[in-house]
Structure 1
Amino acid sequence: MSPVRIATRADCLSIAKVAEQAERWDDVISQLKSIITYSDARLSTEERNLLSIAYKNATSTLRNSWRTIETLEKQETDNGRATRREQVLLRREREKIEQELANVCQDLLKLLQTHLVPAADPGEEKVFYCKMQGDYYRYVTEFARKQNHEHYAQLSLEAYKAAYKHSLSTLEPWHPTRLGLALNFAVYYRDVRASPERACHLAKHAFDEAVAMLNDMPEQAFKDSVMILQLLRDDLILWSAEMQHEPGDVKADLLKHK
């Protein structure tokens, strides 16, 4: 009998890529965890992006399911159409989804805290992982019980602040990772802190700084950076409208640099 061959790092990456195409996100995550073990928590850009995609897809389905059940539960309760038995069943289904979502988020957060963030190089890699911490604590905040909501909201804020502070000193304003961080940090202020004013301030600052340096942007970063700038534009217009303020200066800037 031939000896069992231990999978190499290249084998794990190949399997992860196949699993990504098949949308088997648990398999992608499993293979990348093996790579983290092999590499002392140092992932290549390709591996890091695969990790992000896998956890994003694993949580997106659950987050959408949770929103659907939560909305249905509220509608049925407010309308008085659901029997007590139906209300109990809806609550149980919501809580089941919450537990599954919490497990996935905490799995990544533990991986980040224990392995990825401590091993990260200063600069883009560290910003990338700290941003992920902010994102996934924010996801937990969405469904956390009232007594835990502020705890996770604060952990998300601290992660975003650390990532943002580091990005300002290590990444150019047009860098896609810095812009993506600014976008998600602004969403945090809008959704978690219910402050469209702070969200607009942060997003507008990031937008203006990036637009001012568009001519210095390398070609390989242009597509990703412009896509995030468009998202920042859309959110700025939406949030400004919420504050009953017409963002004329924002629109003018974007039309000029579109």
Structure 2
Amino acid sequence: MEAKSRDDCVFLAKISEQAERYPEMLEYVKGFVKYAGAQLMPEERSLLSVAYKNLTGNLRASWRIISQLEEIEGPKARPFEFALMRKQREKIERELIGVCEDVLNLLDKVLIPAALPGEEKVFYCKMKGDYYRYIAEFSRSDAQKRAATASLDAYKLAYKTALSTLEATHPTRLGLALNFSVYYRDVLNSPERACHLAKHAFDEAVAVLDQMPEQTFRDSLIILQLLRDDLTVWFQEMQEQEKRDAAIRKPL
């Protein structure tokens, strides 16, 4: 169905989301971006995020499954079977890169240049960090380094802006802290920095919890729970690693 207005695009994007037809949803999202002149309302930004998140989420899940099969079954597989697994993984990687580059192009050329200071800019720069992080997850060598650096730069800009413009309990600021800490752990392999960032964001928000606006209370609490869960797991991992390191250093 052809969308003839911004409202049509928003409505059809919602319908497509409910029907889980995310490629079509993305087309309607791009439609209201065009009609809006890149000035999106919060609901429209949410639809933008949902469309790309579901497209990449399915591909990332598929990539992890194939990668695990390669690792577990590869040594036992016949050469042509192993080659087929690798070919399938590479096909998924190309699709995933295509989606990530599509959203990054939209962010760099359209949305970030038009973003207002504050929550809107933080939202888009966080997205930029996220999608470069996704590329870094499966890339190799120089490509991985470039994606990791671009992701870090975007997260740093988003976080600097968030600290100066958003309340400690704002869900966009908390969501950024959550994803930025995951970047430190999963991409840079630095659980210490991940824990430091996550704990700082968590503690600052909890300190002013009684001042949290009612309209964002539920969303902020959900992200705080996720931060706490990650911190619990990461602290345990660091303690276990310290025990293993101590055992290695212990003289016989």
What's the counterpart of residue 175 of structure 2?
Answer: 180
Whether the 8 Å CA contact 2:126–2:155 is kept in 1: the answer is yes
Q: Give the direction of change, closer, same or farther, for the CA distance of 1:106–1:180 in structure 2 (3 Å limit).
A: same
What's the counterpart of residue 252 of structure 1?
Answer: none
Q: 1-side partners of 2:188 and 2:31: how far apart?
A: 37
How far off is 1:210 after superposition? 0.3
* Alignment length (residue pairs): 239
Q: 2-side partners of 1:93 and 1:147: how far apart?
A: 22
* Identity %, equivalent residues: 61
Q: 2-side partners of 1:23 and 1:29: how far apart?
A: 11
AA in 2 matched with 1:187: V
Residues 24-67 of structure 1 deviation map (CA, whole Å, 9 limit, x = unaligned): 11111111111111111111111110010111011111100000
How far off is 1:147 after superposition? 2.5
What's the counterpart of residue 211 of structure 1?
Answer: 206
Q: 2-side partners of 1:62 and 1:218: how far apart?
A: 36
Whether the 8 Å CA contact 2:3–2:9 is kept in 1: the answer is no
Q: 2-side partners of 1:149 and 1:13: how far apart?
A: 35
Q: 2:193 aligns with which of 192, 195, 198?
A: 198
What's the counterpart of residue 225 of structure 1?
Answer: 220
What's the counterpart of residue 12 of structure 1?
Answer: 9
Q: 2-side partners of 1:14 and 1:231: how far apart?
A: 31
What's the counterpart of residue 240 of structure 1?
Answer: 235
Whether the 8 Å CA contact 2:38–2:114 is kept in 1: the answer is yes
How far off is 1:145 after superposition? 2.3
How far off is 1:122 after superposition? 0.4
AA in 2 matched with 1:61: N
Residues 1:41 and 2:38 are matched in the alignment? yes
What's the counterpart of residue 250 of structure 1?
Answer: none
How far off is 1:143 after superposition? 1.0
Q: 2-side partners of 1:141 and 1:100: how far apart?
A: 15
AA in 1 matched with 2:135: V
Q: 1-side partners of 2:3 and 2:9: how far apart?
A: 10
Q: 1-side partners of 2:218 and 2:6: how far apart?
A: 30
Q: 1-side partners of 2:41 and 2:25: how far apart?
A: 15
Query: TM-score, normalization: structure 1?
Result: 0.91
Residues 1:112 and 2:76 are matched in the alignment? no
AA in 1 matched with 2:202: F
CA RMSD across the alignment? 1.1
What's the counterpart of residue 60 of structure 2?
Answer: 63
Q: 1-side partners of 2:236 and 2:14: how far apart?
A: 42
Residues 1:25 and 2:25 are matched in the alignment? no
Runs of 4+ in 1 over 4 A off after TM superposition: none
Whether the 8 Å CA contact 2:3–2:28 is kept in 1: the answer is no
AA in 1 matched with 2:215: Q
Q: 2-side partners of 1:69 and 1:215: how far apart?
A: 46
Q: 1-side partners of 2:108 and 2:198: how far apart?
A: 27
Name structure 1 gaps, 5 residues minimum.
Answer: 246-258
Residues 8-28 of structure 1 deviation map (CA, whole Å, 9 limit, x = unaligned): 111111111111111111111
Q: Give the direction of change, closer, same or farther, for the CA distance of 1:118–1:225 in structure 2 (3 Å limit).
A: same
How far off is 1:6 after superposition? 6.9
What's the counterpart of residue 144 of structure 1?
Answer: 139
Q: 2-side partners of 1:108 and 1:172: how far apart?
A: 27
